Structure 1
Amino acid sequence: MFEKLKAMLTANHARFREIHHPSEGNSERVATVRGTEVGQGAKAMLCSAKEDENILILAILPGDKKLDFKKLAQAVPCKKITLAAPEVATEKTGCVIGAIPPFSFSPHIRLIVDPGLLARYEEIAFNAGRLDTSIVLNAEDYVRISRPSLHDICVTE
């Protein structure tokens, strides 16, 4: 996955850098080792519709926020959303939980990004398919390449 990401970003002339660090999947701890803020982290959560587990959504939100499942269900739209089981997430994304990048490489996984992630920082950071390697990517390049659906999906504080 890491090589696939790097090749895609390079081919699309994205402004990015890679950071190698000790394995870490926790948003707060990985931000520290990256030297970034927690909110810059693009937290990727694979979810599915409760009524049809074949409806898969990769929800991307700032690392310092929580996912509002009701808002995500309204964005899809569907009745109820749940987190995909870890084994399903690994099977569908090719990555373990915590290492899933904020890109969908499957036509069967819809990409929904909270615009708050992109509004706060010029760069986003994420584990690049591995727990020991991160990419810090220009936010404009991320949107241009990933073409996500943008919806408010975070819990309101």
Structure 2
Amino acid sequence: MSGHDTYEHLISLLDAARVDYRLIDHAPEGTTDKVCALRGHPASEAAKCIVLRVKVDRRTTRHVLAVVPGDRRVDLGAIRVLFDARYVGFSDAETAERLARAVPGTVLPFSFDPDLEVIADPDVVAQPKLYFNAARLDRSLLLSGSDYEQVARPRVEPISSTVDA
């Protein structure tokens, strides 16, 4: 599935769910702080999406899409505890693109691959306004955190930590 197909799949999913959303066109950008400035909102209202590799044991590797507020980082230790894992780290770019069906900077807080489990921080689903790139660098989407939770059905767990200054 190409990025364009991923975008179309997302829009079809949201339309079928009959949730309110708004598309926002902007200059191409995939860095959280910069795209938040283009869209005109604080980073806390953005969904930062990171694909992780979780080694549960010597033979079992899982992949997780961690979704945290844009002003926070993924707490790898929290993910390790959730899975009672030996190791948690960032997925390599090729695997992340294949599973997320998007290039870095455009990863959605949704999974269209059964091998990619979505875990969202409680502060993501609590947002009245949640912004994220819509599988494109030049278009973002705005919807409520509760509508996101209803449609994406992520596992909701505290997985973020503050960014150290």
- Superposition TM-score tier, normalisation by shorter sequence: over 0.9
The yes-or-no answer on 1:78 pairing with 2:109 is: no
Aligned length in residues: 156
The aligned counterpart of 1:88 is 95
Map 1:145-156 onto structure 2 (within 5 A). Answer: 145-155=151-161
Equivalent residues of 2:99, 2:115 under 8 A apart: no
Tell me which of 22, 30, 35 is aligned to 1:17. 22
The runs of 5 or more residues in structure 2 that have no matched partner are 1-5
The aligned counterpart of 1:31 is 36
Structure 2 Cα separation of the partners of residues 58 and 118 of structure 1: 15
TM-score (norm 1): 0.93
Deviation at 1:53, TM superposition (A): 7.0
Structure 1 Cα separation of the partners of residues 26 and 103 of structure 2: 17
Structure 1 vs Structure 2 CA RMSD? 1.5
SS at match of 1:95: coil
Equivalent residues of 1:128, 1:135 under 8 A apart: yes
Tell me which of 124, 140, 149 is aligned to 2:130. 124
Structure 2 Cα separation of the partners of residues 35 and 53 of structure 1: 42
Q: Aligned residues: percent identity?
A: 31
Deviation at 1:117, TM superposition (A): 1.9
Deviation at 1:49, TM superposition (A): 1.3
TM-score (norm 2): 0.89
Tell me which of 101, 108, 119 is aligned to 2:115. 108
SS at match of 1:130: coil
Deviation at 1:92, TM superposition (A): 1.6
Deviation at 1:103, TM superposition (A): 0.3
Deviation at 1:78, TM superposition (A): 1.6
Q: Deviations over 1:95-149 (max 9, x none)?
A: 1111000001111111100001233x30211011111110001211111111111
Map 1:39-58 onto structure 2 (within 5 A). Answer: 39-50=44-55, 51=57, 54-58=61-65
Equivalent residues of 1:70, 1:80 under 8 A apart: no
